Structure 1
Amino acid sequence: MKHVVVIFDENVSFDHYFGTYPKAANTDGTTFTPAKDTPKNIDTLAHAGLLEKNPNLYTPKRLAPSQAMTCDQNHSYGPEQYAANGGKADKFVENTEVSKCTGLFGEPGLVMDYYDGNTVTGLWNYAQHYALSDRSFSSGYGPSSPGAVELVSGQTHGIVSTDPKSSTEDPKQTDKPDPATVSSPDAQGVGTMINDPDPAFDDCSDKDHTSGSALGRFKGRNIGDLLNAKDVSWGWFQGGFRPSTPWGGKQGSYAKCSGTTHPNVGGASSVDYSPHHAPFQYYKSTANPHHLPPKNVSEIGHSGQANHNYDLTDFDAALKTGHLPSVSFLKAAEYQDGHAGYSDPVDEQHFLVEQINAIQKSPQWKDTAVVVAYDDSDGWYDHAYAKPTNGSRDTTTGSNGKATDSPACQSAPRPAGGYQDRCGPGPRQPLLVISPYSKANKVDHTPTEQTSITRFIEDNWHTGRIGDASFDARANSLSGLFDFRHPNNTQVLLKQDGSVDSVHRSGHYTTSALAASAPIADALTPHRLAGADGSAASGDSVLLPVGIAAGALVFGTAATVLVLRRRRTA
């Protein structure tokens, strides 16, 4: 495997998009008909019997394509914990629901609602032809920025608050750093990220430096540092990264991004670029503060003035000219990233289909794995629960008037590295692998998390681990989503509405490609799980039979479990 492309979208729980998969209502939207051999033992709302009898205040309702633009739900670190309620998953309405907002669809019980294959048709069709996980979770609880940082470092500890007037310089620490930026700080002001501060090394932070909010800078390493050390090409490509006003070249001046906007399907416009969605901009070693472009296409993915941070148009150029980096992270412009409140599943689908079609049409497709994943759940209801393997004991009062960490997190195993506010795994989200070497129309039940993607990259290019209690040490492999010995050899091009345009199976791929994919093939062999402190666990990972009734799957260590319960009826 020569190329991995991670498409990292926004704010979706698994049940919100796949709650009735593979059965769609087919009363509106794009018609979806599943293949006869589609797996039936999938941990969905429908399979769990939670559509009509549910322990929450409201039962889940189907959202139609006409209701694509919805209110953004509360997806803060503490409220998400209390919504899960230690595995009962019965307090979502009280803790994460936002049912009223201006100009968007909202109703009581909205947080419980879901879309089906008549709206998120593209994702359902990708699942039909490639591999879907129904056991993939956030590495921790909380919003977008922590989720993005988990993806690239598995470590949300190590953030310091910086003065926005000197954001590209080392901060001047105080005894009390901004609590919106740093949680549980030590004597040097170093703590954990649980909110969405903008990154310190970004001219476009704080709305092009027009506000005075504290910014955040991370110490430590990320996957970009590891790839650089191995001379592996990589890049983060984000919509709107090319500034609307270029940097003037003088110290104290800034590039600006606010001038580039697009309307969503509802007609509302938003600025394309979101600084707090760009995780490498929090690290001085991997930041491109002035949003400088690459000098030429051949520089993309390599050292240069862009320092591995690019606009999405640079990804298109690299793909078309055969300069695709080994590792690419794609982030849509805000209107297409799927985040409720300013984006939606329809605009998100347009982005996914356009990007994946382009990759599949390219010569690089034959040795590429596309991973579609999400940064957080947005607080949307999901009935599955991962019992925390990493606890936290932050008892300071949160925005909801309760202790920041819930009883379930406070009673979980001691925090790795002694770092508070990293309770997890968190909520469940969709995860798909789209590749000639992914399993076809298969649903994998192996517990994984955002940092499993990090580990996948580390193992394929033998970079070693990030260290400092990064969750890459505990994360399970993505191996259950691949089959290198029996390639599916399939190219599936979709239409903009998510329906299938064409399916082409080629004999070009053979099992001899396994030898050419030796690094990734070796990495996907079963491994011993790591303990919460990164040490070897006492036993191998074990996958028990899948069941929606009370049961357990090993997650993280041999002594801790992922609990999937049948909920009590209301």
Structure 2
Amino acid sequence: MNKKLICATPIAIAAAIGLYACGGNSNSKPTLSSVKNVVVIYAENRSFDNLYGNFPGANGLQNVTATSARQLDRDGSVLATLPPVWKGLTAAGVTPVITQAMTVNLPNSPFAIDDPAGFNAPLSATTRDLYHRFYENQMQIHGGKNDMFAAWADSGGLVMGHYTPNADKLPLYKLAQQFTLADNFFMGAFGGSFLNHQWLVCACTPFYANADTSVAKTSISAVEPDGVSLTLKSTSAASALTDVPTFVNSGNLTPDFYAINTMQPPYQPSGNKPATGGDANLADPTVATTLPAQTNQHIGDLLNNAGVTWAWYGGAWSNAISAVQNNTANVIYGANLSSPNFQPHHQPFNYFADLAPGTDNRAKHLLDGGLNGSEFIKAIDAGALPQVAFYKPQGNLNEHAGYTDVAQGDQHIADVISHLQKSPQWNNMVVVITYDENGGFWDHVAPPKGDRWGPGTRIPAIIVSPYAKKGFVDHTQYDTTSILRFITHRFNLPNLPGLTARDSALVANGGQAMGDLTNALDINK
């Protein structure tokens, strides 16, 4: 092929045949600066082993032994069986109906939720929710042994459940086969969605000043001197086989007032209503779960300073705002779990003072993703995405156990990827698909020892791009902050303080700094 033909070849085609347009010779590669668009798609609550434990070439369930997988009771003894799945395996009204009684005496080992010879609950069935909280996650990880997931759960043996998907059952599995699957990617913070969304955008943990003299004082957790373990009630069941654990106070705040479990945004749409007679754009500040506005620096601030365009696309965002304005906000305040099940605590930028209602910053950057992602897809199809775009699917499409299933969310994200691949911006795009946290599901890989906040349990991540290595399993150590590292690296931004602190802690504990996802790309770094 002559040079003129090479230079006329679209980059997606050129990459597929080992050539790069106008690169000078057939062995040249694009550089990181060739990436013009970064898209982050943030799903919910799945550990790596839960969905990708059988993925060929990945560090999955084939590396698990009977000894390494077995769960311990609260006293450290080996459980004879897994505890029953308290309140049943499937959510109310779901077929198949799998009651608590049907889950008694499960072997102390991982099991396939969708096993035809077992529970036969497909990816389209909604299972019950599980603990996914800050202190409980650390207690389950048990110093890296991952052997107390069942002991410190409210869902019993369900923590050990996984699926056995393939490319025919799970659309994103097919994309993982075609592009890059990261199998050493950890959630940025211990615990749940609220905190991990904060770490996605600022690598920081929110703070509630003077919480001990505020309405939130009852939300301060009772924690043992180790700083990791919750204090048990004297009446708590001694064995995981008997009942769920009960704590003196598993609250939303640490003893020194950091917000670690679900707090609601100070601005609407929020999980808390406006104060009676107060500003309709605000959440009632006298409710204990309303977090005061945060002022930490976030990735949006850095992008603004660098002149890089960006936006957060919240699925059903406008629908949620309309519900508040029309006083039909029961869809938000928790009384209605039907579609689209908008989740206010999944909208991390809505906690920051510089993105308050009425600001130009908010109008430019907090955008409606539309019902079923329709507005986000319009921007994709028009080639109108900003340089950095975050997309959060609405609740019924995010794969969260307890209120939705894996199948429809997975298909939705695959459909979005299909639009991205046809977009005018695709040739210079990197898409990162990942999950905010593990949702309480066990994983066999020990998280690297970092700082006080994380990283937590391993989760799936897929990198989809014309530049992504094809059919590649990336074993590089990553966590949620690796997304921020990639954006920082690509656009030459200063490091957020949390990124530097995380790497310092990893190294101090004998480990290595987190990767920035560039190893998943076939580029000259």
Task: Tell me whether the two structures share a fold, i.e. TM-score over 0.5.
Answer: yes
| Among 105, 127, 133, the residue aligned to 2:176 | 127
Matched with 1:558 is none
From 178, 202, 206, give the equivalent of 2:272. Answer: 206
Match of 1:34?
A: none
How far off is 1:128 after superposition? 0.7
Q: Verify the 8 A CA contact 1:96 1:380 in the aligned structure 2.
A: no
Distance 1:455 1:255 in 2: 41
For residues 171-210 of structure 1, what are the structure 2 equivalents within 5 Å?
176=217, 178-179=219-220, 180-185=251-256, 191-206=257-272
Question: Is 1:220 aligned with 2:277?
Answer: no
- Could you say what secondary structure the match of 2:207 adopts? strand
Q: Deviations over 1:116-159 (max 9, x none)?
A: 22485212211110001111111221110110000101111434
Spell out, residue by residue over 1:232-253, the C-alpha distance to the aligned partner (whole angstroms, 9 max, x if none): 11111111210356499xxxx7
Contact 2:215 2:287 in 1 (8 A): no
Higher mean Cα deviation, 61-70 or 194-203? 61-70
Q: Secondary structure at the match of 1:312?
A: strand
**2:384 is the counterpart of 1:323:** yes
Instruction: Tell me by how many angstroms 1:174 deviates.
Output: 8.1
2:52 maps to: 18
Q: As a proportion of its length, which structure holds more helix?
A: 2
Match of 2:461 in 1: 431
Alpha carbons of 1:309 and 1:90: their partners in 2 closer, same or farther (altered >3 Å)?
Answer: same
- Separation in 1, partners of 2:402, 2:451: 31
TM-superposed CA distance for 1:204, in Å, is 3.1
What's the CA shift for 1:320? 2.4
Distance in 2, Cα, partners of 1:334 & 1:272:
5
Distance apart, 1:259 and its partner CA: 4.8
Confirm or deny: 8 A CA contact 2:216 2:289 kept in the other structure: no
Partners of 1:14 and 1:192 lie apart in 2 by 28
Q: Which amino acid aligns with 1:436?
A: P
Trace 1:304-453 onto structure 2 (pairs within 5 A): 306-313=363-370, 314-391=375-452, 422=453, 424-453=454-483
User: For the Cα contact (< 8 Å) 1:120–1:345, is it kept in 2?
Assistant: no
Query: How do 1:90-101 and structure 2 match up within 5 A?
Result: 90-99=147-156
Question: Offset of 1:468 from its aligned partner?
Answer: 6.0
Aligned twin of 2:165: 117
CA–CA distance in 1 between the matches of 2:467 and 2:174?
17
Listed one character per residue, the Cα deviations across residues 67-110 of structure 1 (whole Å, up to 9, x for unaligned) are 631011111111111211212221111112515xxxxxxxxx22
Cα distance 1:161–1:43, how it changes in 2: closer, same or farther (>3 A)? farther
1:42-84 Cα offsets, whole Å, 9 max, x none, are 210123345x973224211112253631011111111111211
Paired position in structure 2 for 1:82: 139
CA-atom RMSD, angstroms?
A: 3.1
Q: Which amino acid aligns with 1:480?
A: N
- The structure 2 residue matched to 1:243, chosen from 295, 311, 319, is 319
In 2: Cα distance, 1:305 partner to 1:76 partner: 29
- Where do 5+ consecutive residues of structure 1 fail to align? 23-39, 100-108, 163-171, 186-190, 293-302, 392-421, 485-520, 526-570
Q: Distance in 2 between matches of 1:431 and 1:147?
A: 15
The sequence identity of aligned pairs, in percent, is 30
Superposed CA offset, 1:194-239 (max 9, x none)? 1010111234331565893431132210001111111111111111
Measure the CA separation in 2 of the matches of 1:333 and 1:120: 22
Secondary structure class of the residue paired with 1:348: helix
Give the aligned partner of residue 504 of structure 1: none
Paired AA for residue 128 in structure 1: Q
Give the distance between the partners of 1:254 and 1:160, measured in 2 at CA: 33
Q: Which residue of 1 aligns with 2:104?
A: none
Q: For 2:417, give the aligned amino acid.
A: I
Change (3 A) 1:377 1:241: same
The alpha carbon displacement at 1:269 in A equals: 1.8
**What is the total number of aligned residue pairs between the two structures?**
393
Counterpart-to-counterpart distance in 1, 2:112 and 2:323: 47
Amino acid at match of 1:55: R
Aligned-partner SS, 1:158 = coil
Q: What is the aligned partner in structure 1 of residue 349 from structure 2? A: 280
Paired with 1:469 and 1:54, the residues of 2 have a C-alpha distance of 32
The 1:4/1:54 distance shift into structure 2, 3 A limit, reads same
Find the partner of 1:63 among 96, 100, 113: 113
Of 55, 61, 67, the residue aligned with 1:45 is 61
Render the CA deviation track for 1:334-372: whole Å, top value 9, x for unaligned: 011011000111121122112111111111111111101
Cα distance between partner residues in 1 of 2:318 and 2:439: 27
- Residue number in structure 2 paired with 1:508: none
| Cα shift at 1:173 | 6.1
Residues 8-17 or 460-469, more deviating: 460-469
Amino acid at match of 1:206: N
CA contact (8 A) 2:112 2:162 kept: yes
2:191 aligned partner, one-letter code: G
**How has the CA–CA distance of structure 1 residues 343 and 175 changed in structure 2, closer, same or farther, with 3 Å as cutoff?**
closer
Please tell me the residue identity of whatever aligns with 2:421. Answer: Q
> Which consecutive segments of 4 or more residues in structure 1 shift more than 4 A?
159-162, 172-178, 207-211, 253-261, 468-474
Q: Which residue identity is paired with 2:367? A: Y
Which residue of 491, 495, 501 corresponds with 1:461? 491
2:238 match? none
Which amino acid in 2 is paired with 1:14? F
Q: How does 1:150-165 map to 2 (within 5 A)?
A: 150-160=199-209
Structure 2 residue 188 is the aligned partner of structure 1 residue 142: no
Structure with the higher strand share, 1 or 2: 1
Which residue of 310, 321, 325 maps to 1:234? 310
Report if the CA contact (8 A) 1:240-1:257 is conserved: no
1:80–1:232 CA distance, 2 compared to 1 (3 A): same
CA change 1:357–1:161 in 2 (3 A) is farther
Q: Which digits, 9 at most, give the CA deviation of each residue in 1:273-332, with x for residues without a partner?
A: 211000101111134x47x9xxxxxxxxxx566241111133223222221110111111
Is the CA contact 2:160–2:441 (under 8 Å) kept in the aligned structure 1?
yes
The alignment's TM-score, normalised by the length of structure 1, stands at: 0.63
- C-alpha change, 1:124 and 1:467, in structure 2 (3 Å) is same
The answer for the alignment partner of 2:25 in structure 1 is none
- Whether contact under 8 Å (2:216, 2:288) holds in the other structure is no
Distance 1:332 1:203, change over 3 A: closer
